[in-house]
Amino acid sequence: MAGNSIGQLFKVTTFGESHGIALGCIVDGCPPGLPLTEADIQKDLDLRKPGTSKYTTQRREPDQVKILSGVFEGKTTGTPIGLLIENVDQRSKDYSNIMDRYRPGHADYTYAHKYGFRDYRGGGRSSARETAMRVAAGAIARKFLATRGVEIKGYLSQLGPIKVEQFDWEQVRQNPFFCPDASKVADMEQLIDDLRRDGNSIGARVSVMATGVQPGLGEPVFDRLDADLAHSLLSINAVKGVEIGDGFACVEQKGTEHRDEITPEGFTSNHGGGVLGGISSGQDLIAHIALKPTSSMTTPGRSVNVDGEPIEVVTKGRHDPCVGIRAVPIAEAMMAITVMDHFMRHRAQNADVVSSAPLIPPAVAD
Amino acid sequence: MAGNSIGQLFKVTTFGESHGIALGCIVDGCPPGLPLTEADIQKDLDLRKPGTSKYTTQRREPDQVKILSGVFEGKTTGTPIGLLIENVDQRSKDYSNIMDRYRPGHADYTYAHKYGFRDYRGGGRSSARETAMRVAAGAIARKFLATRGVEIKGYLSQLGPIKVEQFDWEQVRQNPFFCPDASKVADMEQLIDDLRRDGNSIGARVSVMATGVQPGLGEPVFDRLDADLAHSLLSINAVKGVEIGDGFACVEQKGTEHRDEITPEGFTSNHGGGVLGGISSGQDLIAHIALKPTSSMTTPGRSVNVDGEPIEVVTKGRHDPCVGIRAVPIAEAMMAITVMDHFMRHRAQNADVVSSAPLIPPAVAD
Amino acid sequence: MAGNSIGQLFKVTTFGESHGIALGCIVDGCPPGLPLTEADIQKDLDLRKPGTSKYTTQRREPDQVKILSGVFEGKTTGTPIGLLIENVDQRSKDYSNIMDRYRPGHADYTYAHKYGFRDYRGGGRSSARETAMRVAAGAIARKFLATRGVEIKGYLSQLGPIKVEQFDWEQVRQNPFFCPDASKVADMEQLIDDLRRDGNSIGARVSVMATGVQPGLGEPVFDRLDADLAHSLLSINAVKGVEIGDGFACVEQKGTEHRDEITPEGFTSNHGGGVLGGISSGQDLIAHIALKPTSSMTTPGRSVNVDGEPIEVVTKGRHDPCVGIRAVPIAEAMMAITVMDHFMRHRAQNADVVSSAPLIPPAVAD
Amino acid sequence: MAGNSIGQLFKVTTFGESHGIALGCIVDGCPPGLPLTEADIQKDLDLRKPGTSKYTTQRREPDQVKILSGVFEGKTTGTPIGLLIENVDQRSKDYSNIMDRYRPGHADYTYAHKYGFRDYRGGGRSSARETAMRVAAGAIARKFLATRGVEIKGYLSQLGPIKVEQFDWEQVRQNPFFCPDASKVADMEQLIDDLRRDGNSIGARVSVMATGVQPGLGEPVFDRLDADLAHSLLSINAVKGVEIGDGFACVEQKGTEHRDEITPEGFTSNHGGGVLGGISSGQDLIAHIALKPTSSMTTPGRSVNVDGEPIEVVTKGRHDPCVGIRAVPIAEAMMAITVMDHFMRHRAQNADVVSSAPLIPPAVAD
């Protein structure tokens, strides 16, 4: 069962290779009546698209999206929305040297075993280029969620050793790193310049949150909101870890520290990250992800070729020294898709529920 | 879309509340011809069952499993396997005091919003008692995977501040903590005794791995092996974080450190945790999870009642001071279910693939 | 991907063999707050259960259902509902003679090829005994649908050559054939008596309808209401054909005859069976099914044994001379499950839709 | 849960409206290594495409398909295959008159209720133009199945009152009706000419079969091969009935007539249509469908407008007097998709099964 769909009710199915003709996706299940234009989607795509600063890959892709179906007279019709982005700046010949060899840390070796052969041009389907369509589909989810008061926003919380210390949402969209701490931007620039010069790369931590989520979303026992979010975020290329709320810090916490107490004025804290028992609590939904340093770099690495002989590999092509940077809009998109899907799943079963439970405000500090 | 199934092809659907009549599950899709007895399943259930040491809950449940269907003359038939465990040691009256109040850090508040009302006895469906059926279903997956040379094993890698330092698999099943470091067991005993006395609880870190997994399992781009594993593991009660391989340590790694180089004699390391591009590499599949400290404790906590009035809650009943301890067999079971499911998904599409790619051994250090 | 679940949002998963310990199912996704008792389910089970008249199988099964979970204080909680029926009147030794041979017209041969071996006692999983759980799950769907004004009712429209000519709903529950035409009951009794004497069996036609279905249910282009209904009804043992509305009579109709014209006072006819473009129109939802004559009979038939040698088979055991008779409550249950599922699917996407389209009453003649 | 996907493992998801920019689909799960070109798909599309004879709609669509992904160096890669067909001959203004009115027998009224508004141009998503993508996806399934010796072929078995009497497969592709009886073609031409002159339309019966299907495909108890086939075929526009094998003729058959006896030389007959207990028997898989007369015709019909006022509707635009004619390649495609999906589902669970059951040849008369 091939896994190119995500979401059960707000279902996104994507196709496309890095150096193929086009990328595309179908969003099936979007509620009808939502005002939607290509510009709504393009806005998010432009945040992810390559070549916008010297800190990301230099491949120039306009990532111009076309809506092919599912929208009529400016509104979604409830039928499937077909989206298409043509690839325009392939340089497939950069990859002829990896045709018969497996780049270490890449999916070359595993694709070869799984499928018997692979489209090696630019990583084919395993390329992060595939994530463009996630952002496009996520933009539709975000547009809908906004009508319900839900806002989704992410930021780079750590670039290699550089941790964010001050926090200002206004800054996030004003530097090429999605960094909320203006005082760290110069360090980040320097780090990336150094890495590029050294033919190396670096990991990153990205944080993403949703505000305004109603209590009740999530489907225990398996499809908990946080479990589905973990699936969704870990499906992004290069992600190696997910935390909900305090995440791994919980390991050393005591119960009296961790539990978010409840008062009529609001929760006293949000260690849980907005989820209790797999269901949203109405607090901010908070997740963090760890992204590995990309293995696409010019420092030679040991590997084998298709005949099992030892070789050295140098990854040419145009690459991001830190894939975590452009991961911010992707993580936002994935959270949007998951929250949207759970909004729909919840109401499918529970549309008639009129709960008399009191509505507790989120923690003041959120 | 209620979420009480996991797995697409090896599909496990569970039911049952903490203080209901019984817990049950249906395993649909198990290959036919697998020798299977109740003892095979009971063996794993006994590892998870409550009341076996003073470090876990004192509820006494024999957790005696019955196979109701799908097995004939000692072998699975390929038809759905029905499993049942009767509850025998409910003490529902312990819970009458939480009928009209929401325990902080629990799912009481969120269930009330989602469903309008809740079975409050012992946490109802949100109780960790539900995980018994995960272990039962996982035992079947493990039995099958063993025929393919796959072994799954976990351990407690950290209990609150106490980190495992020495490693001996033999130790894991010989202390009530699933701890591979015999030198830490006394500290762990002391810590749990102290917590119980203080009416408090603590978090934990559990590690789980699968050896012998063939290269090729995993369904990019969304249903990567690691993404599905993250879903599976984060669906366990109290889990707040998942790492694949080096996980959050990747954030500060450089590409040259992280990428697992390949030699004809084997991979040189396993930072990736056995997954590349969402597909198993043949190295050990490694995951770590963070479990929060349970919110079931006798230290009073602030909350509200169903009328929104401020109250104090003390959680009576019988509880684990650290749910992470008994999470080891549960995490093993969830990994088994996910690997089994991907084994089947892979062969559905790729049974005909004869890959000529060389088979690289896992890292020596694994 | 084993297929023992039906429904996407109101999801029913069953297990159990004819001569196993028990039959069971899990209903996942039932909306919370629905009053539900075992008696609600038993009522429908009693209509299907064997041994109630001399015109059906003489196996005596009380089919006593137990609710194991998902109901608290008399109402569904929204968590999975576990149901169980113990088998009490197996006579497995009746079947020892078919252990090594394939009954013609039965699933023996195909199960042997699919799974390699089979539980031959009473047909194992392929027995119509499995349908008990469909009726149980359907009873829950019917109870919910009744709260929305939807009623589902079926009848035997033809038994072999005997066609129903007069129609009186009151009669349906007053004879063992679910026949709406009292004047045909004596003929039916005679026919069944003759067949039993001759060691033969006969086919039947069953009709089923839902009244009160709101316009809008159905999910084009593939999961049309009628396509899902066809799947649902054809999944019943022995069903070989499904018609929606006029069905095969459409082949000879002209467009001017078939199209159901619309007037402000109502549709002028209901040739379409309540579905247009795969979506319910608000007219009565009407389906008909053809059931083959059971192959369980005492007239010897040619076949082969497991070694491929020619043999004669006589099916002993206790059987229905016409499986169509007891199919009436089963068909009702399957229609209920499908309509319920589509009710939930529709509102997941379209709960916000406020259509200004006029509501046209169903045809008077419906 | 919107329903624009079909198949579980060989999963086809489509988008596109009659008068939109393009039609498209994603085929996810196709096994890798299958040689595939656009010409392979075009060949089937050309059989369905409009405007090829005077007996179908005069809309001129080249239906030129583009493969956008999933194929590399002439072979499928195992990643999703994106397909696109641009619409070129829309005449949307033909439909401005139905913007505010509901055509009887069409989906206008039901779409308006379901989604609140609709793309009325050419029927939007409810148009049979959507079926082009079914044929495209089906062509891929057929290409794969052919490598396993499975061939799928259909024909028009009845056009209104004109029944096929002689049978010659060679004829089917040699007349515009897909009619296997050359002696009936002139009558069919006359009938269609008369209907077009009279502004009327007619129903049809289409038959489709698969030869060479191995025994074992089908997933009881719900996802039987025949039940899934019924879903698949009834999801085609205008289909109102499905029969497997003898279908509704079973109603009047006795068990001794219907059961297909088994001899070492072969089954003696194929009343069951190649399915026993929901699983393929190795005999020819046979299905028949009934298609209603299209409601698109120039004879005025009574209806209401969006304000509920009585009106008359004349359907302009370019239409097929009998949609059954072009349904032949569509039915073939749907059967191919379903058989392909079940081939993959079967081997996911049962790839290891080595059945010792004898292989019985299909009936001679098949």
- Mutation pick from C240, C263, C299, C337 vs chain D, by most beta carbons of D within 10 Å, is C240
Kindly list the partner chains of chain C, i.e. chains with 3 or more CB atom pairs below 8 Å: A, B, D
Residue span of the structural domain in which B198 resides: 5-350
Q: What percent of chain A has pLDDT over 90?
A: 85
Residue A166 is given by DSSP the state S
Is A314 at the interface with chain D, CB within 8 A? no
- Nearest Cβ partner of D106 from C160, C277, C353? C277
- Structure-token match 């996910």, residue found: B338
Dig out the tokens for A32 from the structure: 């009808």
Q: What percent of chain D has pLDDT over 70?
A: 98
Taking the CA of residue A348 and the nearest CA in chain C, the distance in Å comes to 4
Average pLDDT, chain C: 94
Among A46-60, C329-343, D12-26, D264-278, which is the least confidently predicted range? A46-60
Dump pLDDT digits (tens) for D43-54.
Answer: 999 998 877 777
Give how many domains chain C has, as a whole number: 1
Give the residue ranges of DSSP H helices in chain B. 38-48, 108-115, 131-147, 169-172, 185-198, 225-234, 255-258, 323-350
pLDDT tens string B230-257: 999 999 999 999 999 999 999 999 999 9
Indicate whether A365 pLDDT > 70: no
Q: How many CB pairs under 8 A join B and D?
A: 48
Question: Domain containing D344 — which CATH number?
Answer: 3.60.150.10
Is the confidence at residue D182, as pLDDT, over 80? Answer: yes
Measured between CA atoms, the residue of chain D closest to residue B79 is: D220
Averaged pLDDT, A217-237: 98
Check CB contact under 8 Å for D9 and B348: yes
> What are the pLDDT digits (tens) for A174-198?
999 999 999 999 999 999 999 999 9
pLDDT at A318: 67
Q: What is the pLDDT of residue D317?
A: 67
Instruction: Reduce the secondary structure of B183-208 to three states and give it as a string.
Output: HHHHHHHHHHHHHHHHCCCECEEEEE
Closest CA to A11 of D11, C303, C161: D11
Substitution target in A192, A223, A252 with the highest count of B β-carbons within 10 Å is: A252
Which pLDDT does position A95 carry in this prediction? 73
Residue B81 lies in a domain: yes
pLDDT (average), residues C9-19 = 96
State residue C317's pLDDT score: 67
Q: Is residue B359 a part of any domain in this protein?
A: no
Q: Cβ contacts of residue D227 below 8 Å, gap of 6+? A: C230, C231, C232, C234, C235, D278
DSSP states along C270-325: -TTTTEETTEE-SSPEEEEEEEPPPS--SS-EEEEBTTS-EEEE---S---S-HHH
Is the pLDDT assigned to residue C323 strictly greater than 50?
yes
Distance from C224 to chain B by nearest Cα, in Å? Answer: 18
What's the whole-number mean pLDDT along residues C72-96? Answer: 89
> pLDDT tens digits, residue range B60-73?
888 999 999 999 99
Q: Does A32 touch chain C (CB under 8 A)?
A: yes
Q: Given CB atoms, is A28 within the 8 Å cutoff of chain D?
A: yes
User: Sign of torsion, CA D165 D166 D172 D175?
Assistant: negative
Q: Tell whether A33 lies on the interface with C, counting CB pairs under 8 A.
A: yes
Q: Is residue D356 part of a domain?
A: no
Q: Which residues of C touch B8 (CB under 8 A)?
A: 1
* B303 marked among binding-site residues: no
Measure in Å the smallest separation between the Cα of A80 and chain C Cα atoms.
10
Is residue B171 in some structural domain? yes
Query: Which positions in chain C touch B68 (Cβ < 8 Å)?
Result: 15-16, 20-22, 24
Provide the pLDDT confidence category of residue A366 given band limits of 50, 70 and 90: very low
Cβ neighbours of B29 in D, within 8 Å:
348-349
Would you say B142 is a known binding-site residue? no
- The whole-number pLDDT of residue D366 equals 43
Asked whether the predicted pLDDT for residue D297 surpasses 80, the reply is yes
Instruction: List CB contacts (< 8 A) between B230 and chain A.
Output: 227, 230-231, 233-234, 242
Indicate whether A56 belongs to any domain: no
How far apart (Å, rounded) are the C-alpha atoms in residues A8 and C295?
41
Query: Is C166 within 8 Å of chain D by CB?
Result: no
Q: A134, A234, A246, A265: which to substitute to probe chain B, counting the most B Cβ within 10 Å?
A: A234
pLDDT at C62 over 60: yes
pLDDT tens per residue across span C224-281: 999 999 999 999 999 999 999 999 999 999 999 999 999 999 999 999 999 999 999 9
pLDDT attached to residue B95: 73
Of A29, A33, A353, the CB nearest to C353: A33
pLDDT at C316 over 90: no
User: Are A347 and C345 a contacting pair at CB < 8 A?
Assistant: no
Q: Is the pLDDT of residue C5 over 50?
A: yes
Look at residue D365 and tell me whether its pLDDT is greater than 60.
no
Sorting pLDDT into bands at 50, 70 and 90, what band is D241?
A: very high
Residue C293, domain member (yes or no): yes
User: Residue D120 in contact with residue D315, Cβ under 8 Å?
Assistant: no
Known binding residue D175? Answer is: no
Burial grade of B41 (CB within 10 A; 0-12, 13-18, 19 or more): buried
The answer to whether C180 and C173 are in contact (CB under 8 A) is no
DSSP D83-152: EEEE-----GGGGGGGTTB--TTSSHHHHHHHHSS---GGGGGGSGGGHHHHHHHHHHHHHHHHTTT-EE
**Cβ–Cβ gap C2/B9 under 8 Å:** yes
Q: What is the pLDDT of residues C151-206, one digit of tens each?
A: 999 999 999 999 999 999 999 999 999 999 999 999 999 999 999 999 999 999 99
CB A1, CB D8: distance < 8 Å: yes
d(CA A321, CA A305): 25
User: What DSSP letter does each residue of D315-341 carry, written as one string?
Assistant: --S---S-HHHHHHHHHHHHHHHHHHH
Among candidates D15, D68, D124 on the partner chain, residue whose Cβ is nearest the Cβ of A16 = D68
- The helix (run of H) or strand (run of E) holding residue A204 is strand A204-211
Q: Among B29, B220, B352, select the one facing D349 at the smallest CB separation.
A: B29
Q: Is residue B366 domain-resident?
A: no
Percent of chain D with pLDDT over 90: 85
| Residue A88 touches chain D, beta carbons under 8 Å | no
pLDDT band at C366 (very low <50, low <70, confident <90, very high): very low
* Residue B175 or B50, more confident: B175
* B9-26 per-position pLDDT tens digit: 999 999 999 999 999 999
Query: pLDDT for D298-318, tens place per residue?
Result: 899 999 999 999 999 987 766
- CA-wise closest residue to C128 among C308, C320, C361, C302: C320
- Rounded to an integer, the average pLDDT of A56-60 is 76
pLDDT of A364 reads 62
Q: Is residue A329 part of a domain?
A: yes
**Chains that contact A by 3+ CB pairs under 8 Å?**
B, C, D
Neighbours of chain D (3+ CB pairs under 8 A): A, B, C
Interchain CB distance below 8 Å, B243 and A245: no
Does A248 contact chain B (CB < 8 Å)? yes
Q: How much is the average pLDDT of B199-222?
A: 97
pLDDT (tens digit, 9 = 90+) per residue, B78-92?
999 999 999 988 776
- Give the pLDDT band (50/70/90) at residue B111: very high
Smallest CA–CA separation between D313 and chain B, in Å? 40
Instruction: Decide if pLDDT at D58 tops 80.
Output: no
Binding residues of C for FMN: 125-127, 237-238, 277, 292-296, 318
The pLDDT of residue D364 is above 70: no
